[in-house]
Amino acid sequence: MVPEWYHLTRAREWNYSFTDEGWVCMIRFMTKNGMASMKEERAKLMSDLPNLFTTADALAHGIPRVTLHRLTQQGKIRSISRGLYLRGIDKTIDLDLAEIAAKAPMATICLSSALAQHGLNDEIPKRIDIAIPRGTWAPKTTAAVTWHRFNSKTFKEGSSKQPILGTNLTIGIYSAERTLADLARHPKMDQAELVEGIRRWLRQPGNHPSKLLKFSQNLPGARFHIQRILEILT
C-alpha cells in the first residue's frame, strides 16, 4: 500500500502573500483525497458559470486564472478572445456579438448592421456596425467591428436590448426608425441603401410616413433627407 505522504509531491498549490518583509511564497500540501475534493468543488463552480463567461466571472466564482489556463490547454473550455471563454460547443451562440457585448456593455447595433437585422436590407455587412457614446473607449476585438461614436445626449433614443442566444448577455440595437434616421444624417450616406430601406419599411404593417418623420425630428439633420425620399416614394 502506497503511504499517503507519497502523494504530497504531486498535490501542491503555490500561494503568495504580502507581509511586512515582502512577498512570501507558501506551498500547501494536500492528500490524494484532498485533491479529489478540490477538483469536485471546482467542477461544481464551473458548472455554475454560464456557457460564455469572462475571467471576472470565473474569479467571482472562486476559480483562479491558473485553473482557466489549465482547462483551456486540456480543451475543456475554449478561449474566444482575451478574457472571454466558452464552455462546450454551442453553435447557436453568435460569438462576435457576445464578444462585443462582454467587452462594451453600451454597444448598440446600428446603421447597415441594424438595417439588415430589421430585414430592410438584403446585404449582410462584412463588418458589424456598432455605436458607442462619444468619448467612450472602443475595445479591441477579434470580431470585425466598425465603431461609431454617437452623441451621448441622443444615444439611447430608439434603442433597446436584445438577448444573445446561449448566453446571459444582451446587446443594444436601434429601432428601424432610428436606423433610417441615422443613415439619413450620416456624412457618408448611401442614398440607394436609404431609399431601399425606407421603401421596405413602408411595406411593413403599421408603418406610415408621419411616424418616420415624427421620429426623425429628434435627430438633427435627418428629417430633411427622409422627407425628400418619402415625397418620391409616396
Residue 44 pLDDT: 54
Cβ–Cβ < 8 Å for 122, 190: no
- Mean pLDDT, the chain, whole residue set: 82
Distance separating alpha carbons of residues 68 and 83, to the nearest angstrom:
10
Cβ–Cβ < 8 Å for 154, 181: no
Q: How far is CA 178 from CA 123, 213, 229, in A?
A: 19, 11, 16
Every domain of the chain and the residues it spans: 4-87, 95-233
Residue 48 pLDDT: 72
pLDDT in tens, 186-199: 988 899 999 999 99
Query: What percentage of the chain carries pLDDT values higher than 70?
Result: 78
Angle at 213 between CA 212 and CA 219, to 5 degrees: 95
Residue 5 pLDDT: 39
Q: In the chain, helix, strand, coil percent, each to 5?
A: 40, 20, 35
pLDDT in tens, 44-63: 556 677 777 888 888 887 88
Q: At a CB cut-off of 8 Å and minimum separation 6, what does 57 contact?
A: 49, 50
pLDDT in tens, 102-155: 899 999 999 999 999 999 998 888 999 999 999 999 999 999 999 999 999 999
Residue 21 pLDDT: 47
Cβ–Cβ < 8 Å for 29, 15: no
